[in-house]
Amino acid sequence: MKFNAVIASLIVLTISMSASAEDIELYVNHNVETKEKPRVMMIFDTSGSMAWDVSDGDACYMRSGNRYYEVDCFQSKNSYNRNEQCYKRSSYYNYEATCSDSRLKVAQNAIKQLVNDNEDIEFGLMRFNGDNGGYVLARVGADKKSLLEKIEELPANGATPLTETLWEAYLYITGQKVYYGNNTNDRDKTAESSGYYNSPFVPVTGEPLRCDNSINIILMTDGDPSNDSNRNNDIYYLHRDYFSENPPIVSNSYLAALAKIIHGTDDVEVDLYKNTKNVLDIGRVFPIGFGTGMSNSGKNLLTETADYGGGQYLHANTAAQLSDALKNTISRIREVNDSFSSPSVASNNVDQTRSRDAIYFAMFYPETGARWRGNLKKLKVSGDQIVDSKAKGALDDNGLISKDAKTFWLPSNQPADGNAVAQGGVNLHLTTLDTQSRNLYTENQGALVKFSPTVVSDILNTTPDNTLSLASDDIKWAMGVDVDDEDRDGSKQDQRQDIFGDPLHSKPVAIDYGNDDVRLLIGTNAGFLHMFKDAGNTVSESWAFIPSALYKIIKPLRENQAETKVYGMDGAISVYFSNKSLNGEGLNDGIIDASKGDEVWAFAGMRRGGKNYYALDITAPNAPKKLWDKPIEGGKGDFTELAQSWSKPQIAYIKAFGDKPLLVFGAGYDTNKDAAIRSEDKTGRGIYIVEAKTGKKVWALTPGENGFTGKHSIAADLTTLDSDYDGYIDRIYASDTGGNIWRIDMPGSDTSEFSHFKLAELGSTSATQDRRFFYKPLVARTMFSKVTQTTVKKGEVVTTRLDTPYDAIVIGSGNRSKPTDTNEQDQLFMIRDENTVTKSFKTGAPATIKASDLMLMNSDPFGNLLDDVDGFIELEADLAKVKGWRYELATGEKSLAAATVVGGVAYFTSFTPASDTATVNQCSLSGGGGSLYAFHLLYGTKVYDELKFLTSYDVPDTPQLYFGEGPSCADGNGDGKCDDNPTVDVKQESQFYLIGPGIKGKDAQNPMRPVDVIGPGLKVVDGKIQLVNKESVGFGFKTQQTYIYKREENDEIKSN
């Protein structure tokens, strides 16, 4: 099978980046030096109807004496004399000067503008040839001046042979014999040699293979096909050869079938140029209907052609619509998007066991320079399905957003935006705003002030030792003004098209203020923290905030600085939510009202954007206020150990510090760990606890405070635990970038009794064991049936079972900063911490758990003994003697997200980089794929038919739990009765679902319904051990990840 390098193609254009370790190497190859351009062949309709008026499709006339004769339409003007004027017939004898330009003229202008606006695309041009097919007027990559001249000379005469012209395009891109082109000497003869086309897929001698192995065909027409059937037999047999079935005939045309041949299908790859043995050369077809003359049958034909051709159909009736359609198509051609972040689900504040129906997708589009596009979009969960704004299924077969989906907030006059980053979502909303109407803020010595050129200038002028200089236009650019006329519309006062920026790692947090007032917080690498209001079908920006520490990224972003990536507010966001106001029944009313003492605070880190944490009072969602006098600044004052602020500042109440809300977070990421070879860090070693309201430090565990002995930075979120359910956090688990897990106990009210010890040491300096933790350990409180076997008289073995509580520590290792490394042997772990009572371990701390203390599960020992009850019990006794289990991932495979536990099942995701053998050209170094694992929490065996599922996301995030509704049983034939019992009706019932990874496969479920394991103890049915409940509602309450607090406001707003 050939390698498809299309994904790499559109993101690797001109790159020569430094080789520092960052996870963006999954999307941008640091070592490529190429100036290749995407390739587009435009098929231009030159039929006679293109001469007609663009506004209504009527013919136009000029006058000669008392006679009128038909001409190509042009705009009527009062300045013309009667023999220069353009007329339209208003009745049999009457003519009026009411002409608009011809479709031809409008299309010529639009195509020329497209060529001029896209210097980084290689265009080619084809046209119809009367009623006899079409031909190549300018090969792909033709000289721009020559191409523009050819466009200007296009006529309007003849029929509309759409399929025959696309057939000639197929012959051209596949390097076959010239056919229809032989009928004219007007063709571009440089596109052929000795009667055969020179395929644009032919490699250039002396140059590396291209990254972009695709040709994109824009097929623009103003009418239904005519005189267009001479190649039907060729298409029929070619389709039969490829797909072993009859071709689709749409509106009596083979056009869609030919598009299918050019693009292929998910099941059948069509290689358009077989001479490049290791590369899959593909095509896409993007039809554009133009004018009012196309029938519904014709529109349906173009829609089906786009579907089969892997493109998108758009229709335009006016010059402006045609220009937009062409821009939209080019955007699609450029588009490759991915996301590190799984969807976020808004929780209902009154009942946090239920989720609202909205889910939010953060997405980004990798680029080679500093500026990446990004967006935030919304879908909904309806029953057991994720749907778009039209209540249609929004996911494709691979669990990704379908290109045909219309996400929420999309204006009705916009085409489907699907998974395209550049279309729809909050970014489209931002492009429609007047800059003066936006509420933009920054901070000046802790105060929240308006963000404007004057204010920024004052801040820079009063900053000690400042060396940064920003012009007024720099600030206006950051505010969203197109000061450089990037869209080439002649205006430098309108909005830019890429204002939002990329949310590379920032996950949206949804906050329900009550009364259907849902707000969203998200940061991006454009430097801003945004709040948006989700009003159902529309979205609006409430405000945006940029810290003064990020002014330095404005110029590199505006200039789109090459060979680099800049970072802004790319860290985790948390929210403190205190709803004290009550309803008439004495319960929380679910409505935030500051006058009643309610409070909402937001906290955000920067990740690679810096070392600071920021806090805002967002109780009034339209009017943010400062919360702290100044931000927490890493490397200064009380926070000298604080490195890059990766760790999420989580809300906690700790008895030793009274009843005030606190923030707990890891001391951050030391970029020393960007190095491939492991070494000890100098910063980031430890944890901090601060007052949420003031940012004041109340306690720290670092080498300089309270004797922390760790040598590696703690970049991950911390895991907090209220072990006795009294409403106070009394234990913290922390994982570090050296492969260690630390346990911090905080019993009682005396900080002198706080203790810490190394719970597990799972990495080492060995290259293959350089395991690093970038995500928090998941703690699930549960119990197991601890088996002990004792041999008594006459060799009799006595088996005893004791239900034993333990805290399951679930985590996977993987170097997030260097995901493409293939040296390490990363692993997935489940550690049993049986010291379930929080106490001081200043003396008598348990021995550190090593990898050798955990049972290896790769051979599936428990799964192999499900038919052998005695053998299974013996293995249980062996498991009781060790500290848990581990699973070795394949070489290079690594866990790059936090694990989760649902219903007694541990879910992990992983990323596997492409092997060296898959590197077929200079662009394919950053490939790879994702997977989802599901293990029985105690036994480490599979609970579904498979242990591992392939995912559509290359780097899948943690699956998100959603509580919705679904059918009570399977109903394969849709008769409303259960398949396994036809006397029982199918009912809708409450269900839990896992959303996010995008499971691949024929029978994949997206969203995925989790199973519920049986236990503790064994259930044996007909001599076989049964591990999973067959009648499961999708969630087991034997494991607890949510802890009961004594106050409602202690619950942090969840984004999952």
Residues 81 and 211 in one domain: no
Average confidence (pLDDT) over 605-618 = 98
Q: Are strands 981-985 and 977-978 parallel, antiparallel or unpaired?
A: antiparallel
Range of the structural domain that residue 83 is part of: 53-96
- pTM given for the model: 0.80
Report the alpha-carbon distance of residue 236 to residue 249 in Å, rounded: 10
Report the alpha-carbon distance of residue 480 to residue 440 in Å, rounded: 10
Do the domain assignments include residue 175? Answer: yes
Report the alpha-carbon distance of residue 570 to residue 567 in Å, rounded: 7
pLDDT at site 439 = 97
Q: Which of 334, 368, 385 is the last residue of a domain?
A: 334
Percentage of the chain lying above the pLDDT 90 cut: 64
Residues 54, 86: contact at Cβ < 8 Å?
A: no
Locate 912 and state its tokens: 């596997």
Q: Quote the DSSP letter at residue 748.
A: T
Residues 87 and 111 in one domain: no
Locate 865 and state its tokens: 């003994």
Radius of gyration of the chain (CA): 32
Q: Which of 317, 334, 351 is the last residue of a domain?
A: 334
> Which is nearest to 220 in space by CA: 282, 169, 271, 145?
169
Do the domain assignments include residue 311? Answer: yes
pLDDT at site 487 = 83
> Which is nearest to 372 in space by CA: 478, 480, 501, 474?
501
- Produce one character per residue of 273-306: b if its CB has 16 or more CB atoms within 10 Å, e if not: beebeebbbbbbbbbbbbbebbeeebbebbbbbb
Residues 58 and 167 in one domain: no
- Residue 179 has a CB neighbour count (10 Å cut-off) of 18
- Given a cut of 50, whether residue 1055 has pLDDT beyond it is no
Bigger pLDDT: 789 or 440?
440
Do the domain assignments include residue 414? Answer: no
- pLDDT tier for residue 574 given thresholds of 50, 70 and 90: very high
- pLDDT tier for residue 339 given thresholds of 50, 70 and 90: low
Average confidence (pLDDT) over 401-421 = 91
Do the domain assignments include residue 271? Answer: yes
The mean of the pLDDT values for the chain is 87
Report the alpha-carbon distance of residue 626 to residue 614 in Å, rounded: 9
Locate 40 and state its tokens: 């587009």
pLDDT at site 35 = 65
Percentage of the chain lying above the pLDDT 70 cut: 90
Do the domain assignments include residue 937? Answer: no
- pLDDT tier for residue 581 given thresholds of 50, 70 and 90: confident
Cα torsion for 297, 299, 300, 305, to the nearest 10°? 130
- Given a cut of 80, whether residue 695 has pLDDT beyond it is yes
Q: Say which residues have a Cβ less than 8 Å from residue 415's Cβ, sequence separation at least 6.
A: 312, 314, 328, 423
3-state secondary structure 951-1012: ECCCCCCCCEEEEEEEECCCCCCCCCEECCEEEEECCEEEEEEEECCCECCCCCCCCECCCC
Alpha-carbon dihedral sign for residues 994, 310, 262, 923: negative
- Given a cut of 50, whether residue 709 has pLDDT beyond it is yes
Bigger pLDDT: 846 or 445?
846
- Given a cut of 50, whether residue 1052 has pLDDT beyond it is no
- pLDDT tier for residue 398 given thresholds of 50, 70 and 90: confident
Phi-psi sector, 257: left (phi>0), alpha (psi -120 to 50), beta = alpha
- pLDDT tier for residue 342 given thresholds of 50, 70 and 90: low
Residues 34 and 62 in one domain: no
Residues 121 and 266 in one domain: yes
pLDDT at site 33 = 52
Residues 201 and 328 in one domain: yes
Q: Quote the DSSP letter at residue 540.
A: E
Locate 838 and state its tokens: 């929080």
Report the alpha-carbon distance of residue 844 to residue 823 in Å, rounded: 37
- pLDDT tier for residue 813 given thresholds of 50, 70 and 90: very high
Residues 206 and 154 in one domain: yes
Residues 140 and 266 in one domain: yes
- pLDDT tier for residue 353 given thresholds of 50, 70 and 90: very low
> Which is nearest to 608 in space by CA: 663, 650, 668?
668
Average confidence (pLDDT) over 750-757 = 96
Residue type, 425: G
Report the alpha-carbon distance of residue 263 to residue 311 in Å, rounded: 9
φ/ψ of residue 366, rounded to 5: -65, 140
Residues 122 and 168 in one domain: yes
Report the alpha-carbon distance of residue 997 to residue 995 in Å, rounded: 7
Do the domain assignments include residue 367? Answer: no
Q: What is the per-residue pLDDT across 963-1016, written as a single tens digit (0 to 9) for each?
A: 766 677 777 778 888 877 888 888 877 777 787 777 876 667 777 888 888 888
Residues 57 and 192 in one domain: no
Residues 19 and 60 in one domain: no
Instruction: Check which CATH number belongs to the domain holding 289 and give it.
Output: 3.40.50.410
Do the domain assignments include residue 460? Answer: no
Q: What is the per-residue pLDDT across 154-185, written as a single tens digit (0 to 9) for each?
A: 999 999 999 999 999 999 999 999 999 999 99
3-state secondary structure 16-66: CCCCCCCHHHHCCCCCCCCCCCCEEEEEECCCHHHHCECCCCCCEEEEECC
- Residue 586 has a CB neighbour count (10 Å cut-off) of 7
Please tell me the total count of domains within the chain.
2
Q: Which of 3-7, 853-857, 892-896 has the lowest mean pLDDT?
A: 3-7
Q: Which of 334, 358, 392 is the last residue of a domain?
A: 334
Residue type, 640: T
Q: What is the per-residue pLDDT across 90-139, written as a single tens digit (0 to 9) for each?
A: 998 899 999 999 999 999 999 999 999 888 889 999 999 998 999 999 99
Q: What is the per-residue pLDDT across 903-952, written as a single tens digit (0 to 9) for each?
A: 899 999 999 886 554 444 445 444 678 899 999 999 999 999 899 998 87
> Which is nearest to 619 in space by CA: 597, 603, 641?
597
Do the domain assignments include residue 180? Answer: yes
Alpha-carbon dihedral sign for residues 1026, 1029, 1035, 1039: negative
Residues 204 and 298 in one domain: yes
Q: What is the per-residue pLDDT across 464-519, written as a single tens digit (0 to 9) for each?
A: 989 999 999 999 999 999 999 988 788 999 999 999 999 999 999 999 998 889 99
